[in-house]
Amino acid sequence: MSNSVEKKSGSILGIPKPDTNTISETLNQLLADEHVLYIKMRNFHWNLVGPSFVEVHEFIEKLYNQTALEIDMVAERIQQLGHAAAGSMAEFLEIAQLKEASGGKKDQTLAVRDLAEDSDAMARNIRKMISEIDEKYDDPGTVDLLIKVLMTQEKNAWMLRRYLG
């Protein structure tokens, strides 16, 4: 049924099909960054060492659980726009702007600094996405989703920086 609606109107959710292509590509790039960040958080959670291990270990667990929920929201928005979400690590690594971290023991201060820098980078990238989608496309649903993700990244960056002193 949705295909017939799309064929008749040339749009999905009232957004022209060419615009949904561009918006979905943007969201897939965000999805890729979130997956890289998620895996990095899991890596640090498992391999963290330092005097505040328990505190930082538990905090990172909260961050990756929150990120997992955001990943699902972004992937579902891509589907709502009529497109497929990237789904493999190979795809994510190809389009992500964030970089992976190797496994092995990780000093808690270095791990927190790395995550803070990634959250800052994510916030900058999301801010650009919001501006572009708001100015070029009539898609307040995606803008609203991006604002929520932005607010989370800004809060995470702040909390991680506070740990560093």
**Cβ contact 79:19 at 8 Å:** no
* Count of Cβ atoms closer than 10 Å to residue 120 Cβ: 17
Pairing of strands 11-12, 15-16: antiparallel
Instruction: Give how far Cα 24 sits from Cα of 42, 46, 161, Å.
Output: 26, 33, 31
Per-residue confidence in pLDDT tens, the chain, 165 aa: 344 344 546 889 989 999 999 999 999 999 999 999 999 999 999 999 999 999 999 999 999 999 999 999 999 999 999 999 999 999 999 999 999 999 999 999 999 999 999 999 999 999 999 999 999 998 999 999 999 999 999 999 999 999 999
In the chain, where the domains are located: 15-159
3-state secondary structure (DSSP) of residue 58: helix
3-state secondary structure (DSSP) of residue 106: strand
**Cβ contact 23:15 at 8 Å:** yes
Q: How far apart are CA 103 and CA 108, in angstroms?
A: 14
15-159 is classed CATH 1.20.1260.10: yes
What is the number of residues in the chain? 165
List strand residue ranges (DSSP E) for 15-57, in order.
Answer: 15-16, 48-49
Instruction: Give how far Cα 82 sits from Cα of 29, 34, 101, Å.
Output: 16, 21, 33
